[in-house]
Amino acid sequence: MTMRMKHLTEKDVQIYRCDNYVHHFNCRNLMKVLMYTAPGVLKHYQNIAQLIKPPALNAFGCDSYNDEQWQYIVKVANAEKLDAGFLISWYLSDDGWRDLQEQWFELPEVTPELCRQLAAVQRRIADDLVMERE
Distance CA 54, CA 63 (A): 9
pLDDT of residue 122: 82
Q: What is the three-class DSSP state of 63? A: strand
Q: What is the pLDDT of residues 68-116, one digit of tens each?
A: 999 999 999 999 999 999 999 999 999 999 999 999 999 999 999 999 9
Q: What is the pLDDT of residues 1-51, one digit of tens each?
A: 444 556 889 999 999 999 999 999 999 999 999 999 999 999 999 999 999
pLDDT of residue 1: 42
Q: What is the pLDDT of residues 50-65, one digit of tens each?
A: 999 999 999 999 999 9
Distance CA 13, CA 114 (A): 9
Give Cβ neighbours of residue 3 (< 8 Å, ≥ 6 apart). Answer: 123, 126, 127, 129, 130
pLDDT of residue 8: 87
pLDDT band for 131, please (50, 70, 90 cuts).
low
Nearest to 91 by CA among 130, 133, 52: 52
pLDDT band for 125, please (50, 70, 90 cuts).
confident
Distance CA 89, CA 7 (A): 33
> Is residue 134 over pLDDT 70?
no
> Whole-model pTM?
0.85
